[in-house]
Amino acid sequence: MSKIKLTIDGKQVAASPGQTILEVARENGIEIPTMCHDDRISQTTSCFVCIVREKENGNWMPSCAAEVGEGLEIDTSSEAVQEMRRTALNLLLSEHSGDCEAPCTISCPAHARVEEYVRAGRDGDLRRTLEIAKERIPLPMSIGRVCPRFCEKDCRRNVMDNDGVAINDFKRISADLYYDDYMEERAELTGQKVAIIGSGPGGLAAAYFLRLEGIASDIFEKLPEAGGMLRYGIPEYRLPKEILDRELAHFSRMGGIEIFCNKELGRNLELEQLKKDYDAVIVAVGSWKASGMRTEGEELARGGIDWLEELALKGWQGEDPGETIVVGGGNTAMDCVRSALRLTDKPVHCMYRRTEKEMPAEQIEIDEAREEGAQFNFLTQPIELRRENGKLVLECLRMELGEPDASGRRRPVPIEGSEFEVAADTVIAAIGQKTIAPEGLPTNKWGDVDVAEEDCRADDNVFAAGDCVSGPATVVEAVAGGRRAALGVMAYLKGQECQLPYEINVSRGHWQSLSSDDLVLLFEPEEIKRVPHRLIPLEERTSTFKEVSYTFSEEEVAREGKRCIECSCTAKGDCSLKDFSENYGADPEHFGGEKGEKDYNSRHPQIIMDNGKCIKCGICVKICSEVVNEYLLGFKNRGFNTKVETAFNRPLPVEKCTECGECIEACPVGALDWKEKTEEQEQKEKDK
């Protein structure tokens, strides 16, 4: 049989009559993406992701169905072809609803694989929990205690009982049990070295991720001991410094990381010299300047972060502050309130200009402060501070809430004639913090270091990370910033541009947009109440700086892990739609409008059908009929409402569905899957 000659992407190839362009391209090592093609079945030609273009007349054709012809010139890779494929993927995404990733992972600033480390803890493998957590969280002992739990706030378990899974405790117990003898794999040292200014979470994270890739670092800290905000900004009762020291010892054991204390920029350390002596510099100095109250006499108040630092330097053995007023509503304010309660038997007040609902502090911090005796004064605005007869007198106004401001919170408005005065021995202003940026570095309008978004570069070979870039934030956000700066440095040292991978995440929606009926429809969760946190006796909480909460036991963590719905897509590691969409830069939000009705069929004892994920490629229908020789699936309705279903919407018949898994294996998006995979099935997926 004579061969047909054609050209694909400038390469002349030979083909047999009747072959498709897709087949010939593959034979010649030219990859064309496709989602609806399977060699075992007849053509479906439904996804159009395999689109190619005939050069002579500009005709577009699906390569999985178009046959070769003599002299054809085919374009499979130009920008125009890529744009058409992107359009096809955008159309598929517009009707696709699932959960590429669990909301807990998406909401984690460090993007730790939350669902995976919770699953490991549930299964009793807490060492594996630690291993997974440390992929993105190099300070699991600290973060396991002080993180504001972004993941738990977005946990879908909230739909059922308004209580997310106690995710943070998985990091805490796994690190408490295994951290001292744990060591991750590290590349051989390359001889390159980076100077890091600041030993807080941002600086430590940068050093950690650099070291994993073989890059050494020297960390310079202005205070007597390492840890930054972890040591000097977070009270002992939340994060015992013995725990922090155990965690810091790990950095020394990694090799290639050294910490030098009592080294401060502008005093005994110069940025210009560091730029010359090291391959790169990362500035991670934190936001250590307390904001004023913007009232007359504000100089008589102590800054919140300054007061906590002083207590830390004294080993949390500070003087009795007497009757204390703390002004502010954030976590630093709660730290000051609760620390003052441990140092005095006099009243401790917290004044905040909005209501409790608008307080930025974590609710658990507010609740525990109240339990310990804090007196809250909401809708209260200080206007003047003065000293009279050996006491501080704070003049205040009563407020009421008006229209929302730029933050989305209702703006507090003064009530005319509502002035009143309160006397105290100590007034602490904990209303915010600012960055003192190193001289010579660019700053933004807030005074934070101004860096390039793509690589955290500030100037020359200087990068920056943490609070000095973002403004005051959380420990886990500083860790995420440290990693971004480390990636920027790695790219710089290789002479490359820093490009983070493009990722998409299709989602069924935030838990607040779902009803319990949706949850039962989608995930069938068992009702299990959250394991309560155990606290030390109240008298110890108010008289000592002993750690307030106990670590969960292994049994409690395993029980808590059973509450996890595991709501990410079961095919997230093997989804052609996600893979191709990321490769071609497709966007789930490109086309607006409502998605099709969710339909989750779990009536078969082993198999799930999720029409929300289905892209109507038809592979499962043809696999069942042409390969398995059964007719259990088919298309129902027409147009937008088309869906794959069993006849008369009946359950998959157990007597005919032999659970061969052919349709599941062929599905490109996980719309068909096993309820529980056997070891053999899991291994088959890994091999795939």
Predicted local distance difference test score (pLDDT) of residue 98: 84
- Taking the CA atoms of 288, 294, 300 and 302 in sequence, report the sign of the dihedral they define: negative
Tell me how far apart the alpha carbons of residues 627 and 663 are, in angstroms, rounded to a whole number: 10
Question: Does residue 286 register a pLDDT over 60?
Answer: yes
Place of tokens 């009592």: 262
Question: Does residue 654 register a pLDDT over 80?
Answer: no
The closest of 102, 138, 4, 190 to 572, measured between CA atoms, is 102
pLDDT in tens, 395-433: 999 999 998 887 787 889 999 999 999 999 999 999 999
How are beta strands 426-429 and 433-434 bridged, if at all? unpaired
Percent of the chain as helix, strand, coil, to the nearest 5? 35, 20, 50
CB count, 10 Å around CB of 203?
30
Higher pLDDT, 2 or 38: 38
- Over range 12-40, report the average pLDDT: 94
Higher pLDDT, 687 or 448: 448
Higher pLDDT, 358 or 605: 358
Tell me how far apart the alpha carbons of residues 611 and 672 are, in angstroms, rounded to a whole number: 9
Tell me how far apart the alpha carbons of residues 292 and 571 are, in angstroms, rounded to a whole number: 52
DSSP character for 535?
B
Tell me how far apart the alpha carbons of residues 639 and 616 are, in angstroms, rounded to a whole number: 11
pLDDT in tens, 501-538: 899 998 887 777 777 666 655 666 778 899 999 999 99
Does residue 92 contact residue 616 with C-beta atoms inside 8 Å? no
- Model confidence at 458, pLDDT cuts 50, 70, 90, reads very high
Predicted local distance difference test score (pLDDT) of residue 11: 93
Q: How many helices (H) and strands (E) does the chain have?
A: 25, 27
- Judged by DSSP in three states, 381 sits in strand
Predicted local distance difference test score (pLDDT) of residue 120: 97
What pTM, to 2 d.p., does this model score?
0.92
Question: Does residue 568 register a pLDDT over 80?
Answer: yes
- Model confidence at 649, pLDDT cuts 50, 70, 90, reads confident
- Model confidence at 321, pLDDT cuts 50, 70, 90, reads very high
How many residues make up the chain in this entry?
688
Residues 6+ apart with CB under 8 A from 265: 197, 222, 271, 285, 438
Predicted local distance difference test score (pLDDT) of residue 520: 57
- Over range 217-235, report the average pLDDT: 97
Predicted local distance difference test score (pLDDT) of residue 299: 95
- Over range 614-618, report the average pLDDT: 92
Burial class of residue 120 (count of CB atoms within 10 Å of its CB; 0-12, 13-18, 19+) = buried
Question: Does residue 624 register a pLDDT over 60?
Answer: yes
- 498 conformational bin, left if phi > 0, alpha if psi -120 to 50, beta if neither: beta
How are beta strands 426-429 and 302-303 bridged, if at all? parallel
Question: Does residue 540 register a pLDDT over 90?
Answer: yes
pLDDT in tens, 169-215: 999 999 999 999 999 999 999 999 999 999 999 999 999 999 999 99
Higher pLDDT, 262 or 44: 262
- Over range 141-159, report the average pLDDT: 94
Domains and CATH numbers, the chain: 4-77 (3.10.20.740), 103-182+504-544+554-561 (1.10.1060.10), 193-288+438-493 (3.50.50.60), 290-434 (3.50.50.60), 597-687 (3.30.70.20)
Mean of all residue pLDDT scores within the chain? 93
Predicted local distance difference test score (pLDDT) of residue 227: 98
